[in-house]
Amino acid sequence: MLAAVGMTFPGAVGVSRASDHGTLSFILENDLFYNVDRHYTNGVGLTWMPGADTATPKWAVTAFRLLPWVPRQGEVRHGYAWGQSMFTPSDIRVKNPPPEERPYAGWLYGSIGLGVESGRQLDRFSLTIGIVGPASQAEKCQKIVHEIIGSDDPKGWDTQLENELGLVLAYQHSWREFAATTLIGNRLDVTPHVGAALGNVYTYGNAGLTLRYGPRLPSDYGPPRIQPGLLGSANFTPPADFGWYLFAGVEGRLVGRNIFLDGNTFRDSRSVDKEYLVGDLQCGLVLDWPKVRVSYTHVLRTREFRTQDGSDDFGAFSVSVKF
């Protein structure tokens, strides 16, 4: 859930040396970028990663170091995230969607994340707590936005999942510049990753990689995204003037639980038969200035449930500002 924890260290040529009090990022994921309105239809996230001059709480460092696979060297950094995601069937004009359609659902959450970079390897851990159901306010938010933009009124929210407290523990390990070369005068590198999530909202194992291509590749892990997906990192190394790179990535997830498809854990609710193997293919562009980073990602996600009539496309736009 927490893409904010992605450390960078300003050691590259052409990097700005301005003070770093923290990085604030806004992320918007929406299928309206491609003129559709269904399934994973909207996600918004706000992340804050304090700068290097802000000490990580000692209790958090101690707990993080207890994980046997976390390296003992390297500085532990922390970050926070808040967000809301919403899911709908393919036709929101229907008051009582067919049972084979994806259920209406909302997810309102907050996260704390910890990470440590050792050399070119990054270990990240996050704890996310939130609420699924009417208390997420997804129905109200979607109706307000649709009224403002003149889109169809979503009529089936009375069938959404019931209120349920959600908990997700997630871990990811990334190898930055696992392979690197020069291509047509620019740098090209590959960053693979593996991870897992455990909880009543999401349980899965994931693996994938990201390719970056540009004249001066910063020491980051790609642009931020909302879980599940190729998380990237909200923090970035600011260039002295202007920088850019293109990227593409792929990830596969073996899904044990997805509450937005499986339905409520302890109460009767709508549900569909999920696909156990789900893949994401993404590509996009990152633009860097000394204090601001802007990115756009096109995401193609394979079918998530068996009665789904095809893959989904959505866009992810993010803005990160250093203070």
Is 139 in a helix, a strand, or coil? helix
Q: Hey, what CATH topology would domain 22-322 get?
A: Lipocalin (2.40.128)
Q: How far apart are CA 211 and CA 279, in angstroms?
A: 16
Q: How far apart are CA 126 and CA 180, in angstroms?
A: 29
Strand partners, 261: none
Give, in order, the Cα–Cα distances in Å from 21 to each of 13, 28, 97, 243: 21, 24, 48, 21
* Beta carbons of 199 and 178 less than 8 angstroms apart: no
Worst-scoring range by mean pLDDT, 51-55, 197-201, 249-253, 260-264? 51-55
Q: How far apart are CA 6 and CA 56, in angstroms?
A: 14
> How open is the CA angle 172-167-133, to the nearest 5 degrees?
125
Structure confidence at residue 70 (pLDDT): 80
> Residue 238: is the preceding peptide bond cis (ω within 30°)?
no
pLDDT at 53 over 80: no
Q: How far apart are CA 127 and CA 15, in angstroms?
A: 32
Is 287 in a helix, a strand, or coil? strand
Return the sign of the alpha-carbon dihedral for residues 48, 52, 55, 57: positive
- Segment holding 259, helix H or strand E: helix 259-262
pLDDT at 2 over 70: no
pLDDT at 32 over 60: yes
Structure confidence at residue 16 (pLDDT): 45
Percent of the chain with pLDDT over 90: 71
Q: How far apart are CA 308 and CA 306, in angstroms?
A: 6
| pTM, rounded to two decimals | 0.91
Worst-scoring range by mean pLDDT, 29-43, 255-269, 271-285? 29-43
Structure confidence at residue 9 (pLDDT): 39
Q: How far apart are CA 257 and CA 247, in angstroms?
A: 29
pLDDT at 100 over 50: yes
Structure confidence at residue 242 (pLDDT): 93
Beta strands in the chain (DSSP E): 22-30, 39-50, 76-88, 105-118, 121-132, 164-175, 179-183, 186-199, 202-214, 243-258, 277-288, 292-301, 312-322
Is 142 in a helix, a strand, or coil? helix
Structure confidence at residue 123 (pLDDT): 92
Q: How confident is the model over 99-113, as a mean pLDDT?
A: 96
| Mean pLDDT for the chain overall | 90
Q: How confident is the model over 272-300, as a mean pLDDT?
A: 96
Structure confidence at residue 19 (pLDDT): 58
Return the sign of the alpha-carbon dihedral for residues 260, 36, 281, 110: negative
Q: How confident is the model at residue 235 (pLDDT cuts 50, 70, 90)?
A: confident
Is 165 in a helix, a strand, or coil? strand
pLDDT per residue as tens digits for the range 162-201: 999 999 999 999 999 999 999 999 999 999 999 999 999 9
Structure confidence at residue 11 (pLDDT): 36
